Amino acid sequence: MDQLVLLSLTQQLGINISDDVQTNLTWLQECAIGLDIQDVQISQHMPAVFQAVCNTLDANSAEYCKTGHPLRAQFQLVQHLFKSTALILEGRNNQ
């Protein structure tokens, strides 16, 4: 899939994960794994998109990270993927 399309999808899904959470988390996970942080076409836009998704995930973590929540593991995985990648992107921009 085209990297620009994946980044756009990531941005759209990251705006509001509350609608069909399981599907959105699945797609966010696929996007986080499928995006190439080396791609020059999207590299300048990735930090802002990933930070926005991290903010949305953080804002919803109290609800989805409760012990016993059926989506807890998937939510935490997606949150970890986005936070880790955001840190990598931030580190690259500070060099």
Mean pLDDT by 10 residues, the chain (95 residues): 92 91 96 94 94 96 95 97 94 75
Give the E-state strand segments of 1-95 in sequence order.
none
Query: For the chain, which domains are there?
Result: 3-93 (1.10.220.100)
The count of other CB atoms within 10 Å of the CB of residue 90 is 12
Quote the pLDDT of residue 93.
Answer: 72
**pTM for this prediction:** 0.90
Q: Amino acid identity, residue 85?
A: T
Quote the pLDDT of residue 18.
Answer: 86
10: tokens are: 């990531």
Cα torsion for 41, 46, 48, 50, to the nearest 10°? 160
Quote the pLDDT of residue 94.
Answer: 73
